[in-house]
Structure 1
Amino acid sequence: MVNYFELFQLPVQLPVDMAMLTTHYQQLQKQFHPDNFASAKDNEKVSIMQKSAMINDGYQTLKNSISAAEYFLSLQGFDVATEQNIIHDPDFLMEQFTLREQLDDIESQDNPELLDDFHKEMIKRKNSVYNQLLHYIHEQDWQTALNLIYKIRYLTRLLEQIEKLQEKQFVL
C-alpha cells in the first residue's frame, strides 16, 4: 500500500499542510501526466496512468480533512471503512435524533434563514468534533479517535441533508 504522506513528501501528521500538499501534487501531476508519455510503450503508458490515478486518489484523500483522518487511522492499523460503525454514546445518539427532528421541523416551516442558521450550527459542531479528533490522534487514543470519526460521519450525513434542502429551496 502506498503511503500518501510519503508520496507527497509530507510529515505523517494531521492536519495536513495544504500548501505543501498542493505544491507536491502539482509537481507530481506535471511529472507523471500521461500526455508527457504519448510516445512511450503501451506497458509504460499503463504504468504512468496508474501512477497518475494514484496521485489523484492520494490528493483527494489528503485534501479532505475527514478522509485524511480516516486514512491516518488506517495507517495505524485500523480498517476504518469496515470497522463496526457503532457509537456507544447514548447522549450523542439522542442528540442526533433530536437534531433530525429539528431539521424536520425547519423543513416543514420552509424558512431558509432557519435552515441556514441550523447549517452553520452543524458546521460548528462538526468542526468541534474534528478538533477533538485531532487531540485524540495526537494523544494516540485510537479508540476514542475512531469513535469521533463515526460521530463526524453522522454529522456529515446530517449536513448533506441540510445542503440538499438548501438546494431545493434555492431551486424553488
Structure 2
Amino acid sequence: MLDLKQDYFALFGLTPAFALEGERLESAYREIQARVHPDRHAHLSDAEKRLAMQWATHANEAFRTLRSPLLRGAYLLSLQGVDPQFETNTAMAPEFLMEQMEWREALADARAEGDEDALEDLARDLRQDARTLVAQLGDELDGRQNLAAAADTLRRLKFLDKLQNEINDALTALES
C-alpha cells in the first residue's frame, strides 16, 4: 500500500514545483483513486477498509491542494517551513491597499445597485489580476526561489480569491 506520510507531490510522482502539468496530476490522481477507493475494499476487514478510506481521503486532499494555485503555493511554502501568515500578516504595499479599497467600494456599489454587469466586470478584472499574481508566484517559487515574496503574493492572491467569492455570492443573490 502507499505511504500516508508521503508529501503530495511524491504521492502523485511529481517534482515539487509550482508549475505542474494538470493532465499528469489528473492521471496520477485517477490511478491512485482506482487503487484505494473504498468500494474496491468493501470485502476486506474493517481495519483494511479504514486504511483504504484514509488513503482515499489523503489522495483527495492532495489533489485538491495541488490543483489550486493558492493552495499549492501555500503547500510549497509549508514544505520549506514558511507560513504565509494569511490571518496575522496584513501588511501590504500601499498600492495594493488602495486597490483593495477601490475593489471593495466597487463591489458595495454594484451590490447596492443590483448591477449585474458591474459585478461581472469586476469579477473579470479580478480574474485577470489573479492570473498575473499566479504567474508572479510561479516565478517567485520556481524561478527566483524568493519565499518571502511568494508569501506576500499568496496573501494578495488569497484576498482576490475571497473577494471573487463575495462577487459570486452577490451575483447569486441577484439571480434569486
How far has the Cα of 1:60 moved from its partner?
A: 0.9
User: Structure 2 vs 1, CA of residues 18 and 169 (structure 1 numbering), >3 Å: closer, same or farther?
Assistant: same
How far has the Cα of 1:148 moved from its partner?
A: 0.5
State whether structure 2 residue 159 is matched by structure 1 residue 154.
yes
2:169 aligned residue (164, 167, 172): 164
How far has the Cα of 1:12 moved from its partner?
A: 1.1
TM-score by length of 1: 0.92
Equivalent runs, 1:73-88 vs 2, <5 Å: 73-80=77-84, 84-88=88-92
Inter-partner Cα distance in structure 1 for 2:85 and 2:36 = 29
Inter-partner Cα distance in structure 2 for 1:90 and 1:129 = 17
Match of 1:12 in 2: 16
How far has the Cα of 1:15 moved from its partner?
A: 2.3
- Contact map agreement 2:84 2:155 (CA 8 A) in 1: no
Structure 1 residue ranges, 4+ long, deviating more than 4 angstroms after superposition: none
Structure 1 gaps, min length 5: none
- Corresponding pairs, count: 171
Match of 2:58 in 1: 54
* Percent of aligned pairs sharing the same letter: 28
Output one character per residue of 1:104-156: Cα deviation in whole Å (capped at 9) or x when no partner: 12222322112111110111111111111111112110000000000111111
Computed over aligned residues only, the root mean square deviation of the Cα atoms, in angstroms, reads: 1.6
Equivalent runs, 1:22-171 vs 2, <5 Å: 22-80=26-84, 84-138=88-142, 139-171=144-176
SS at match of 1:13: coil
TM-score by length of 2: 0.90
- Larger RCO: Structure 1 or Structure 2 (Cα < 8 Å, ≥ 6 residues apart)? 2
Structure 2 gaps, min length 5: none
Inter-partner Cα distance in structure 1 for 2:156 and 2:68 = 16
Query: In structure 2, what residue type is equivalent to 1:163?
Result: N
